[in-house]
Amino acid sequence: MKKSHPIRRVLLASAATVSGIVLLLSLKPSSDPAAADGQSVAPQGQAGAQAAANGTMTGDVEQTEYGPVQVRITVSGGKITKAEAVQKPSGGRSTQISNDSIPKLNQAAVAAGSADIDAVSGATYTSAGYKKSLQSALDKAGSAQGSDSGSGSGAGSGSGSAQAQTVTGDVEQTEYGPVQVRITVSGGKITKAEAVQKPSGGRSTQISSNSVPKLNQAAVAAGSADIDAVSGATYTSAGYKKSLQSALDKAESAQSSGAEEAGGQESGSQQESGGQESGSQGSGSGSAQAQGETLQGEVVKTEYGPVQVRVTLSGGKITKAEAVQMPTGGRSTQISGNAIPKLNQAAVAAGSADIDAVSGATYTSAGYKKSLQSALDNA
């Protein structure tokens, strides 16, 4: 009987082993890590919008090297359905860059559903400002939803008063540019302070970068607007303190109105049980319901600068009108200083945007009326 060669046996055994390994590998269930990752990441891309309340929200004004950027979004069903820039850099080359980049950024915001979008090539500063303003709009929408859900729970009134409240102060015009402060208040204390607008351009950028962080820290430490000016930044410090104080005033007003609403509900229950005392308390709740509502109009660009109007309505009437943004610089500062008070008075007297332009301030008057009308439309 012929014996098989030992080397042949080794080769056959090796071939059989390799074939078996290949067969086992071919039978292993396939997995697609990329697809799995895509399924887990995709919802996060929409987190900014999904966490937001329905409605229209306007982000903070972000100052860039070439001008301000401000984004307004419309959220519906947890998605961004519309995004637009109500302010964008303009003038010279900036106009062309904005016209090219802003529509792309708007589309990207709607597609992503968040502020996690790519910058447009050739528009780095505008893109960065757009993303910051977009994020602040989403934050406001999320905050609005949080407050709605908090008020919806029966036992939430106690914890709701302890929730953090974010308030933005008035825009204060300084010699070197606007200053606007936003604070977060929790438990009656300032837990965060930041400047959403600050002087920029040339030397002002360096001064703001040095002074604003110090002012933010001082505001949190002091818990009030009684803070020292930063050396070398007198005008910026003064504007910061004024805007900070207006934010604190708004926070206090919101807290007071909340307390009065609770008091009004209590007096209403006492009225149901009858009694002379409940009658007097009922009139108190009536006055609380008649409290004014503050509305801010759109930013309207004019030939000499932006105009934005804020009005207070009470009992269906305009009780206060003011310009939170107005043209400044050179001759414009003098014109605005003369025209804006007259326009404010005219708005209160007329109770509408159907007011006459101030002589010598045609563009400012036209912008004022448009912004005023948009504020009334929001009522």
**Average pLDDT of adjacent 10-residue blocks, the chain of 379 residues:** 60 69 57 36 44 76 90 88 92 91 95 91 93 90 63 45 74 88 87 88 88 92 91 93 90 68 51 44 40 82 89 88 86 88 92 91 92 88
Beta-carbon contacts of 302 under 8 Å, excluding residues fewer than 6 positions away, are 327, 363, 364, 366, 367
Rounded CA-CA distance 148/349 in Å is: 35
pTM for this entry: 0.38
pLDDT on residue 40: 34
pLDDT on residue 110: 93
Nearest C-alpha neighbor of 298 from the set 375, 204, 198: 375
Q: How many residues does the chain have?
A: 379
Helices 234-272 and 203-222 pack at an angle, to 10 degrees, of: 40
Report the b/e string of 341-366 with b at 16+ CB within 10 A.
ebbbebbbeeeebebebbeebebbbe
pLDDT on residue 124: 92
Nearest C-alpha neighbor of 343 from the set 310, 376, 315: 310
Q: DSSP letter at 59?
A: -
Q: Domains in the chain, please, with CATH?
A: 55-146 (3.90.1010.20), 175-254 (3.90.1010.20), 293-378 (3.90.1010.20)
pLDDT on residue 23: 64
Amino acid at position 5, single letter: H
